[in-house]
A and B are shown apart, each in its own frame.
Chain A
Amino acid sequence: MSRSVPQMLEDWEPVIGLEVHVQLATRTKAFSPSAVHFGEPPNSLTDPLVLGMPGTLPVFNKLALELALKLGVATSSKIRARSRFARKQYFYPDLPKGYQISQYDEPLCEHGHLDVLVGTTVKRVRLTRIHLEEDAGKNTHVGAVSHVDLNRAGVPLVEVVSEPELSSAEEAAEFMRSLHRLVRWLEISEADMEKGQLRCDANVSVRLRGEDRLGQRTELKNINSFRFVQNAVEHEIARQLRIVDDGGRIERETRLWDADAGQSAPMRSKEEANDYRYFPDPDLPPLVVDGSTMGTILHALPELPLPRFERYQTAGIARDDARTLISDRAMADYFDAACLAHPAGHAGHGGRTIANWMLTELLGALNTDGKDIRESPMAAETLSALVVLVEDGTISGKIGKEIFAESYKTGEAPLAIIDRRDVRQISDEPALWEIIDNVVKASPKQAEAYAAGKDGLFGFFVGAVMKATNSRANPVMTTDLLKKRLGR
């Protein structure tokens, strides 16, 4: 009887490195003018180059370079001033030229890092390299017939390769989430995993704790959702642990993850591995990144998610709220715009209150409507104004939620709704005293009982005041004045 995974993990350490392919959001392909789009009829987005016709030549799409540079800069990578495209050669029907244009020994970016939020800590994962390449087409097999769709062929990609320093399936999944968030944050990719815009291969090995050398690794392919990353890596770690813990040896191989079956199967062994015969692509001159391009990229780089996360926490936003706010750049931008419109800014009460309203009321409403923050019918400034109206006592929080709902639905300004509905909070002391006095006089028995020590009746009087004022009475003042009037 073999030991359980947690038992084995006491002795063995998993080591995971990821290779993530990210489709870049260009309008045209990496080396030719065909459009890039998902879900078009097969082979409608092709041209002579994409079809690998004789005599065609690649010309690199400069926008792809800019997008890749953004990621390079955002991950503090060393950018190569002169990188090179190389041909990676193998035969497959989805690869029309018989080679993929990629980068080999002179990649665009090296030695960067990605900060990954794991639980309550930030783990810095080093990136070996980020390089540019083109996507392949897609084969589908229907019975004995195979179809080739080249719409995806030639779509620009970056391949992000991490150092083997992730130590659990959870970390691998969090790495993917962080990268996903970052590329969307930088607007370099839609990174929709269902559309294959973000794809992941994982290199997994295990070694005895304290050992420096890496164990024999296997490569897992076809893990195309965050959940699959976690499941596939977890499954592979367990598979390897069972082998090594029994004194067995891991074979170097490529394994294909089958999400439906929840397991992986060998795809090819080391012996069957391709010799890609890399060499510099003679059709493409060295890729030169000049100072002015770098200047433009640096200048346009937005504040990144993690620095923003830290900033929000420093401003007093709860950790979970801060984390939600940085899940999407549009969300963080919305929050910042709302805070900017608030007299107190991010600090203290302002930021916290706005975060509360945004994450409960606004996200709740958007969620119900199936909308994204980008499609919010309520401007950040409007939400901010509403929060101020609650904070300064113009309306109560309860009324505020109603005003929110109406303004969200109709687009009418909160103040206008308040005036039209006549729901301003009553904070005028003499006026409120008179109302309270009438309420107490109308219920002499209850007043007597309260005076005799029946504390529970206080709520009855608050309710009565609210009823009498149509919920407009300032709740804090109501409590104060009621206590005075009731004598306790």
Chain B
Amino acid sequence: MSEWWSVVETARRIADGEVTAFRVVEDMLVRITRVDRDLGAYLEIDGDGARTAANEIDRKRKAGEKLGPLAGVPIALKDNLVTKGIVTTAGSKILAGWVPPYEGTAVEKLRAAGAVILGKTNLDEFGMGSSTERSAFKKTKNPWDSSRVPGGSSGGSAAAVAAGLCAASLGTDTGGSIRQPAAFSGVVGIKPTYGRVSRWGVVAFASSLDQVGPLARTVGDAALILQTICGHDPRDATSLDVPVPDFSAALAAGARGLRVGLPKEYFAGELEEHVRAALDRTIAALRDQGAEIVEVSLPHTHLALPAYYIVAPAEASSNLARYDGIRYGLRVEAPDLLTQYSKTRGAGFGPEVKRRIMLGTYALRSGYYDAYYKKAQQIRTLIKRDFDAAFESCDVLLTPTTPTTAFRFGAKATPLDMYLADVFTLSCNLAGLPGMSVPCGLTPEGLPVGAQLLGKPLDEVTLLRAGAAIEAAVGLGDRRPGGFA
């Protein structure tokens, strides 16, 4: 079944002429129609666009033209990635029906590599959430247990990959929004170093934290997608002008000689029993492969959550000011301007988004900047220094991605409970480091567990190498979610 082929295999078979891109895409579209009504991973399917793109790949192959590395590979995009001509909503009513006149850089790069864009996946509104329950449009189920959430905010992208509704997908990660759903849904997810991937065409949540990254079923697939979307972009002033290494080259290097640091703060708190067990098995496996395991400390870890919930809402309150109903998106007409603003924004934003706008507006009030935003930025520096110090004694850090496995719908009753679901993933964004979640086994009740790897700035190569070693030792192999196999 082509639906379960890896990215690498799909591209090879199409390039070799074993199957047409059209066939692959058509099968995928059929499967989506069959499965997604229940799963709810997609917000928008661009069937016509996908078929046209696939036909073009097939024409090129017949004509003997050069094919890109992702030629014919069906990909899904989180719906906060701007797609020219395809509705982009960021999971918000305030953007419902908005058809962008331009294309984001990551999407442009995927298309240039031959990828076929299937459609747009569900997310927590503007990326603000950890379960995808905060989407304004629908729920997305966890393919491994439909009573549970797929994680978030890139829940649709994670679920689509896990359920075989695309070969791979793109998500965005502001405080764990790729890695946490990857862990909950049993897929690989990478948040690259801040600045590796252009943010041009990413609907901004928190500008100093947002990064685009891949979700895929294998580490190798994730590496290939990452390779495609990385690189300097003059349209993003925060994009790094540095060479992009060959991410796939080190995949087979193994864990021998790798110094893996275990930050004790991540293992000290409340950790679900099966998560702890899976991590223990992962650590043992790496040690068996010849990795050196060292304990390290990141003493300011406990400040990450409060710092994050200042920085992210502050930036969000500013970034979301543009949704005023004047130029695009929802407008609720009113007799005067102020009323029109408040009615439009009142109707267009969901409660979690409003909560964060208010938090951020408060934090940036005149006279409070030093006490909040500036202080939080100083904490970021401390957190960054923690990592610098830790990386003096190790090459990569290993932690659980999440304290628990996927929770049930509605389980996180208060906002704070929900925020705590990201407690292990926030530091990485605050410090701008690359991070990755890789499946490291299933619990006895069949829920995936994610191991998080955190690397030095720009050292995605080591993350991928360690990830591949974990995948080989304790990964999910051919195990697929039962309900959607």
Q: Which residues of A are interface residues toward B (Cβ below 8 A)? A: 48, 51-60, 87, 89, 91, 93, 96-99, 146, 148, 275-279, 282-285
Contacts and interface: CB of A to CB of B under 8 A. Distances in A.
Contacts of A48: 100-102
Contacts of A59: 234-237
Contact of B361 (A55, A277, A285): A277
A210 to B, nearest CB: 34
16 contacts: A48-B102, A53-B327, A56-B201, A57-B199, A59-B235, A91-B341, A93-B324, A93-B326, A98-B318, A99-B318, A148-B326, A275-B365, A277-B318, A283-B204, A283-B237, A285-B238
Contacts of A51: 327-328
Given A54-B90, A277-B361, 13 more contacts: A48-B101, A51-B327, A51-B328, A52-B327, A55-B100, A56-B201, A59-B236, A89-B364, A99-B321, A277-B317, A277-B318, A282-B207, A284-B238
Contacts of B199: 55, 57
B104 A58 contact: no
Contacts of B208: 282
B286 interface: no
Interface in B325-376: 326-328, 337, 341, 361, 364-366, 369, 373
Interface of B: 81-82, 88, 90, 95, 98, 100-102, 104, 199-204, 206-208, 234-238, 314-315, 317-318, 320-322, 324, 326-328, 337, 341, 361, 364-366, 369, 373
B102 A53 contact: yes
A55 B200 contact: yes
A97 B207 CA distance: 14
B201 A55 contact: yes
B342 to A, nearest CB: 10
B399 to A, nearest CB: 26
A93 B331 CA distance: 13
B204 to A, nearest CB: 7
Nearest to B198: A57
Contacts of A148: 326
A282 B199 CA distance: 12
A54 B322 contact: yes
A188 B104 CA distance: 34
A35 B431 CA distance: 37
Contacts of A276: 366
A54 B324 contact: no
Q: Chain B: interface secondary structure?
A: loop
Nearest to A32: B235
B328 A53 contact: yes
A276 B280 CA distance: 51
Given A87-B318, A277-B364, A279-B314, A54 B95 contact: yes
B322 A98 contact: yes
Contact of B322 (A97, A277, A279, A282): A97
A55 B236 contact: no
Contacts of B315: 282
Nearest to B207: A282
Contacts of A97: 321-322
B369 A96 contact: no
Nearest to A146: B337
Nearest to A87: B318
Contact of A89 (B81, B88, B234, B318): B318
A55 B203 contact: yes
Contacts of A60: 237
Nearest to A46: B327
A55 B104 contact: yes
Nearest to A59: B237
A95 to B, nearest CB: 9
Contact of B204 (A54, A146, A285): A54
A96 B322 contact: yes
A148 B325 CA distance: 13
Contacts of B95: 54
B365 A279 contact: no
Residue among A52, A91, A277 having the largest count of chain B Cβ atoms under 10 Å: A277
A58 B322 contact: no
Contacts of B322: 52-54, 96-98
Contacts of A99: 318, 321
Q: Which 7 pairs of residues, A with B, have the shortest CB-CB distance?
A: A98-B321, A277-B364, A282-B207, A282-B208, A55-B82, A54-B203, A52-B322
Contacts of A98: 318, 320-322, 324
A288 to B, nearest CB: 12
A410 B127 CA distance: 72
A387 B321 CA distance: 65
A283 B364 contact: no
B308 to A, nearest CB: 14
Nearest to B345: A91
